[in-house]
């Protein structure tokens, strides 16, 4: 585990990390695990993937984003850049955050659908970005106390992912899915220092949801990479530098590891766009 460093995030006119581009080869969607908390833009796994491949990779990830928001972001922003490949990263807690998002939408607070984006990068605050300041009680959310993910939430995840796949296909892009496991699942029974600060996951629920996601992707023919095995193997071999202490996001080394695994998988699956 590594200590967290301070990072200033440079946000472009659209509200995302990195330079504003006319086009990109690969668009990355996700939450803070793809955004790159605590690391510089060029150290994020998406940017490292671009360095490895020579392709233009644009990061359309946001803190706290869940699948429904990622679909909105693709259609509103990323699609215009005409990517050949869209990589959507799913974090284990997306299975219960989709329920919070659906409940929030029904509350009547619909600004995320209609608000314009401020023109100045310094003032830019994406309305799709569910930050604590924008959503009051969101900061106090806790994982629901149930022994399995309700079918309603699973169906929402399924429908949203399939919808994103279809949206990408209609835009001429291929769609691929990455699953980021919780740090509890990566470390298993092994002691790790961050457990004193941050306990993240009900592993029985997470394992069941991961299996559901794998089954769904096989059934719907969606390319899917579960990073659990490779991350767990790295930790078991003695790697202690993949995550940042306290918040459990990927470190610089962790981002490089994810980029390497993703690159290998995209190559073997024939998913890498041509230069």
Residue 96: what pLDDT? 64
Q: Residue 220 belongs to what domain range?
A: 26-267
Of 120, 129, 38, which is closest to residue 76 (Cα–Cα)?
129
CATH number of the domain at 201, please.
3.40.50.1110
Residue 111 included in any domain: yes
Spatial distance between the Cα atoms of 245 and 2, rounded to a whole number of angstroms: 5
The SS3 call for residue 212 is: helix
- Residue-by-residue pLDDT tens, the chain, 275 positions: 444 555 667 888 888 999 999 999 999 999 888 898 889 999 999 999 999 999 999 999 987 777 888 898 999 999 999 999 999 998 877 776 666 666 666 655 554 443 433 333 333 444 434 433 333 333 434 444 444 555 778 888 889 999 999 999 999 999 999 988 878 788 875 554 444 434 455 777 778 888 888 888 999 999 999 999 999 999 889 998 898 866 778 899 999 999 999 999 999 999 999 88
Residue 18 included in any domain: no
Residue 140: what pLDDT? 39
Q: At 183, list the tokens.
A: 């740090």
Residue 20 included in any domain: no
Residue 1 included in any domain: no
Spatial distance between the Cα atoms of 186 and 235, rounded to a whole number of angstroms: 7
Burial class of residue 2 (count of CB atoms within 10 Å of its CB; 0-12, 13-18, 19+): middle
Burial class of residue 214 (count of CB atoms within 10 Å of its CB; 0-12, 13-18, 19+): middle
Residue 21 included in any domain: no
Residue 14 included in any domain: no
Residue 177 included in any domain: yes
CB 175 within 8 A of CB 169: yes
Number of domains present in the structure of the chain: 1
Spatial distance between the Cα atoms of 201 and 208, rounded to a whole number of angstroms: 12
The SS3 call for residue 140 is: helix
Residue 168: what pLDDT? 98
Residue 94 included in any domain: yes
Residue 193: what pLDDT? 45
Residues in the chain: 275
């Amino acid at each position: 585990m590594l200590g967290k460093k301070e990072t200033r995030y440079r946000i472009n006119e659209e509200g995302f990390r990195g330079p504003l581009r006319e086009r990109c080869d690969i668009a990355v969607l996700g939450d803070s695990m793809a955004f790159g908390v605590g690391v510089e833009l060029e150290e994020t796994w998406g940017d490292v993937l671009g360095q490895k491949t020579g392709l233009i990779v644009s990061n359309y990830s946001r803190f706290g984003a869940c699948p429904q928001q990622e679909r909105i972001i693709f259609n509103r922003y990323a699609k215009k850049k005409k990517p050949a490949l869209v990589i959507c990263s799913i974090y284990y807690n997306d299975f219960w955050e989709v329920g919070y998002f659906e409940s929030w939408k029904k509350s009547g607070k619909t600004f995320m659908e209609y608000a314009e984006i401020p023109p100045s990068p310094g003032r830019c605050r994406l309305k799709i970005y569910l930050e604590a300041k924008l959503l009051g009680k969101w900061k106090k959310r806790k994982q629901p106390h149930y022994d399995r993910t309700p079918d309603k939430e699973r169906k929402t995840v399924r429908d949203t992912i399939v919808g994103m796949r279809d949206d990408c296909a209609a835009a001429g892009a291929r769609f691929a899915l990455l699953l980021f496991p919780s740090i509890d699942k990566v470390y298993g029974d092994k002691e790790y220092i961050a457990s004193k600060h941050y306990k993240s996951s009900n592993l029985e629920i997470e394992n069941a949801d991961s299996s559901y996601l794998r089954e769904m992707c096989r059934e719907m023919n969606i390319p899917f990479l579960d990073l659990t095995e490779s991350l767990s193997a790295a930790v078991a071999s003695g790697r202690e530098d993949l995550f940042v202490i306290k918040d459990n996001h990927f470190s610089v080394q962790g981002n490089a590891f994810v980029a390497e695994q993703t690159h290998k998988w995209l190559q073997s699956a024939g998913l890498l766009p041509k230069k």
